[in-house]
Amino acid sequence: MLAAPSVLFVCLGNICRSPLAEAALRARAAGAGLDLLVDSAGTGPWHVGEPPDPRSQATARAHGIDISNYRGRQVKPEDFRRFTHILALDHDNLAGLRRIAPADATAEVGLLLDHVPGLAGQAVADPYYGDDDGFATTWAQVDAAARALVTRLTA
């Protein structure tokens, strides 16, 4: 039997970009009536247990989504068996995922923006050290990816 689709988004800290990708896909999947397991994680350990960056929370809230209950966690070997798709927000984190993938990984591991026409091969830039505009750009990119993923997973 084919496993139901499940998607894990991975950035570095799991407090800026991947929580927004999680929020966008949860909302787009709900809007499409698509039952999907969605989660996010970081390759780094620094923000485990922390809520998303206040700027990410504000960005999600501006789109009607409350992510204040999300908590940072680090990607772990069983994620590669539990999720059907693991999508990195940038190339460094994609390389990090490939380094830690266990031999019996079943997840399809790839770059998030490869799913967005016109943005293939590009990274979602890290907005952590930038201004609020960076978070708006992040939202636009992860929401475009969420829409494309829902189309792909409902096809």
Do the beta carbons of residue 94 and residue 88 sit within 8 Å?
A: yes
Out of 16, 17, 53, 55, which one is annotated catalytic? 17
- In the window 14-53, what residues touch ligand 4NP (CB under 6 A)? 14-17, 46
16 annotated active-site: no
* Near ligand 4NP by CB under 6 A: residue from 5, 7, 9, 13: 13
> ∠ CA 23-57-70 to the nearest 5 degrees?
60
39 annotated active-site: no
Alpha-carbon torsion 75, 78, 79, 80, what sign?
positive
- In the window 53-92, what residues touch ligand 4NP (CB under 6 A)? none
State which residue has the least CB distance to ligand 4NP.
13
Shortest gap between Cβ of 19 and ligand 4NP (angstroms)?
7
- Could you say whether residue 12 binds ligand 4NP (CB under 6 A)? yes
- Could you say whether residue 141 binds ligand 4NP (CB under 6 A)? no
Which is nearer to ligand 4NP, 11 or 113 (by Cβ)?
11
Letters for 102-131 (x = contact with ligand 4NP by CB under 6 A, - = none) are: ------------------------x-x---
Burial class (CB in 10 A: 0-12, 13-18, 19+), 7: buried
| Nearest Cα residue to 85 out of 102, 108, 101 | 108
* Integer CA distances (angstroms), 20 to 51, 104, 105, 118, 144, in order: 12, 29, 25, 21, 12
Do the beta carbons of residue 123 and residue 41 sit within 8 Å?
A: no
- Residues in contact with ligand 4NP by CB under 6 A are 11-17, 46, 126, 128
Tell me which residues are annotated as active site.
11, 17, 126
